[in-house]
Amino acid sequence: MKRRHFITGAFATTAALALGVSLYRPELEPVDAEDSHRALFAVLVPVLLDGALPRMSSPREAAINRTLDAISQTLTVLPQSQRDELELLLDGLENRLGVLVLTGSMTPLLLRSPEQLVVMLESWRDGFLEMQQQAYYGLRELIMASYYSCPEHWGTLHYSKPKI
């Protein structure tokens, strides 16, 4: 599967914008941080939630969108210190030097295939650098919590809250 499959519709432009600004013209107008992270999450979400997301493209796209909204929502309720840490990480993953430091390669995450992203996640997960481990566990928790906080995503769990 190709990256394009994941950066669906509306995100394609945002992704390009984010790349344009952070990689090539950092001194020019900054993009809206939330939106640029959205593009980043749009490539990470399908990898972390592989198997949980619906297979059919339209419900899948809806679930990804819903999760991206939920991630933005989760970020707003986190305490400032955690948001700052996550911002630092996300900013790092959106600029060339940060990506190099964290992943050992300069290829922007938005241009990596799901398989390459799995390799990256696994290297963080098994890594000895605390920074990489925290990146893995931080992103994992944020994405999992955001996805499973949505009742729309409970179907495969056969979980529902009681009617009172």
Partner 1 sequence: MPINDPIAEGLAAGWHHLDGSTMTEDVQLEADVVIIGSGAGGGTAADILSEAGLKVIVVEAGPLKSSSDFDMEERTAYPNLYQQAASMKTSDKAIGIFQGRAVGGSTTINWTTSIRTPEPTLEFWAAEKSVSGLSRNELDPWFEAMENKLSIREWALSPNANNDKLKQGCEQLGWEYTVIKRNVAACWNTGYCGMGCPVNAKQSMLVTTLPAMMTRGGTLLSRVKAVQIEHHKDRVFGIRAQALNEQLKPTGASVMLKGRHYILAGGAIHTPTLMMRSGVIDPYELLGKRTFLHPTLLSGALFDETISAHSGAPQSIYSDEFVWRDGAAGKPGYKLEVPPLHPVLLASKTIGYGRSHAELMEQFNQLQVTIALVRDGFHPKLEGGRLSVKADGSFSLDYPLTDTFWETARDAFASMAELQFAAGAQKVLPISEGMAMMGSWKQTRQAIADMSLAPLKTVVASAHVMGGCPLGEDRQLAMVDSHGRSHYLENLSVMDGSVFPSSLGANPQLTIYGMTARNATRLAGELLKTKSPA
Residues that bind partner 1 (CB under 8 A): 47-52, 70, 73-74, 77-79, 81-82, 118, 121, 125, 130, 133-134, 137-138, 140-141, 143-145, 147-151, 153-154, 156-159, 161-162, 164
Q: Going by C-beta distance under 8 Å and a sequence separation of 6 or more, which residues neighbour residue 154? A: 148, 160
Of the pair 32, 50, the CB lying nearest partner 1 is at 50
Orientation angle between helical segments 33-48 and 9-19, nearest 10 degrees:
120
Please answer whether residues 18 and 35 qualify as being in contact, where contact means their C-beta atoms are separated by less than 8 angstroms.
yes
Of the pair 57, 82, the CB lying nearest partner 1 is at 82
> Which residue type occupies 88?
L
CB of 3 to partner 1, least distance (A): 16
Task: Pull the structure tokens for residue 114.
Answer: 């799901």
> Which residue type occupies 156?
T
CB of 84 to partner 1, least distance (A): 11
CB of 93 to partner 1, least distance (A): 16
